[in-house]
Amino acid sequence: MSNVVDFDEALKVVRGQAGSLHKLETDGAPLLECLNRVLAEPVVADRDQPPFERSTRDGFAVRAEDASGPRRLIGQIRAGERWTSAPLQRGQAIEIMTGAPMPQGADAVVMVEHVELRDGSILLLQGRMVRTGENIVRRGSEARAGDVVLAEGTVIGGAEIALAAACGRSGLSVFRRPRVAIVATGDELVELDETPDEQQIRNSNSYGLAALVAKAGGDAVRLPIARDRSDDLEKLILEARSCDLLLLSGGVSMGKYDLVEEVLHEMEAEFFFTGVKMQPGKPVVFGTLPASGGFPAQFFFGLPGNPVSTQVTFHCFVEPLLRAMGGAEVSPPRFAQATLGEDVAGKPGLTRVLPARLTCDWARPEVRVVVWQGSGDLAANARANCYAVLPPDVERFRAGDVITVLLR
């Protein structure tokens, strides 16, 4: 039974399914191999951060309450050193480097540019003042020993690796990557090691999807091309059952040889939707295959075969589900906002998700759709760096309108 839903509804359906997943097994991995993986344990600060009261400037540790007269220099503290002599007294100053621990008795740092050195003393330059706490970060103000600094479910990037390293973690517990089977369907398709006849098409979707799967934290398993025959499709769908998620491309539209939905039906699939009111991407289907042959129930997407539609529907629906399957917090596709740089026509009844180029001087991100020949135009898709998301039933979007963009 056909169930074609609005774009918003489709996002909601995926979100709902993503919220009800079981966690995958965990795995220990060396820190640098955790990049783009999902944390399966909280990371805890092993000591206060910073571990001592730290100077944030090269300058002089002083007492703020001292008057503006000369302060006598009594020593120096470099980063990595500690002041072990008597606490700083009134009228004294200690030369200090960025990152060095504050000496006892001092409560501020004056930057080296703001003083004049004269006869072994420093003098504040005209008009300069010192306030208590200036240029100092208090011990434990960033994190206290025992605080959770990274929660389970965090996707690990450069910032997270640096923080884990600061906590002394040379390895982390991460979730196993979901295994994602990719089955491209179509009699016209040939693999990359074959020379296509004029009427044949290289199986680019399989590679594009494998790349997107890897980027979204999955392990791609590229299966052979399924020909447009029910038995061949069924055989490859069964071969994919050992994976956590199945992605099919092509064969989901209205053509005589578009058999994907029919075969999935025969295999007792449940469909959450059988199309989305969007362009490109309208024929996309999402559902589950029931547990069978010792394999648990399995999510699948039938993605439209047109290569731009394949990629757009991946970003909108597959990526959020895949991230959640991998243990990450459920989150929507990566939407942002930008100002439209030119007029664009809308489509009655359909949300448009058009290949577009986002340029950004820091104050005003601007987006322009890319000239394309429709949803088979891979070259246009590669000239784009995002998608312009244009809601249905607006006849014309105007230059200057603030619109949603889908980042990729």
Ligand X SMILES: Nc1nc2c(c(=O)[nH]1)N[C@H]1C(S)=C(S)[C@@H](COP(=O)(O)OP(=O)(O)OC[C@H]3O[C@@H](n4cnc5c(N)ncnc54)[C@H](O)[C@@H]3O)O[C@H]1N2
The reply on whether position 355 binds ligand X by CB under 6 A is no
Task: Return the one option of ligand MOO, ligand X, none that residue 204 interacts with (CB less than 5 to 8 A, by type).
Answer: ligand X
- State the pairing for strand pair 121-124/245-249: unpaired
Tell me, residue by residue from 201 to 230, as one string, x for binding to ligand X by CB under 6 A and - for no binding: x-xxxx------------------------
Cis peptide before 348 (omega within 30 of 0): no
User: Considering the complex, what minimum distance in angstroms separates the CB of residue 295 from ligand X?
Assistant: 25
User: Considering the complex, what minimum distance in angstroms separates the CB of residue 318 from ligand X?
Assistant: 15
User: Considering the complex, what minimum distance in angstroms separates the CB of residue 350 from ligand MOO?
Assistant: 8
| 245 vs 353, beta carbon nearer ligand MOO | 353
Task: Name every residue whose Cβ is closer than 8 Å to that of residue 351 and which is 6 or more positions away in sequence.
Answer: 6, 7, 277, 278, 279, 389, 390, 391, 392
Residues 351 to 370 in contact with ligand MOO, rule: CB under 6 A:
none
User: Considering the complex, what minimum distance in angstroms separates the CB of residue 145 from ligand MOO?
Assistant: 54
Q: Which of 279, 288, 311, 351 is in the footprint of ligand MOO by CB under 6 A?
A: 279
The reply on whether position 70 binds ligand X by CB under 6 A is no
Q: Which of 218, 281, 307, 320 is in the footprint of ligand MOO by CB under 6 A?
A: 281
Q: From the CB of residue 191, how many other CB atoms can be counted at a distance below 10 Å?
A: 13
Choose one: 68-76, 145-153, 279-287, 397-405; the region binding ligand X (CB under 6 A): 279-287
**The two structure tokens encoding residue 196:** 């296509």
| 101 vs 305, beta carbon nearer ligand X | 305
Task: Return the one option of ligand MOO, ligand X, none that residue 351 interacts with (CB less than 5 to 8 A, by type).
Answer: none
Exposure letters 214-251 (e unless 16+ CB within 10 A, then b)? eebbbebbbbebbbbeeebbbebbebbbebbbbbbbbb
User: Which of 294, 231, 321 has the alpha carbon at shortest distance from 11?
Assistant: 321
- Name the strand (E) or helix (H) holding 404: strand 402-407
The CA–CA distances, whole Å, from 391 to 13, 285, 317, 380, 404 equal 18, 20, 17, 21, 9
Q: Which of 17, 154, 375, 381 is in the footprint of ligand MOO by CB under 6 A?
A: 375
User: Considering the complex, what minimum distance in angstroms separates the CB of residue 195 from ligand X?
Assistant: 16
| 17 vs 306, beta carbon nearer ligand X | 306
* Measured distance CA(226)–CA(246) in Å, rounded: 13
Residues 282 to 311 in contact with ligand MOO, rule: CB under 6 A:
282-283, 304, 306, 309
User: Considering the complex, what minimum distance in angstroms separates the CB of residue 322 from ligand MOO?
Assistant: 20
For the beta sheet containing 121-124, the strands, ordered from the edge strand earlier in sequence to the opposite edge, are 108-111, 59-62, 92-96, 71-77, 121-124, 115-118
List residues near ligand MOO by CB under 6 A: 279-283, 304, 306, 309, 375
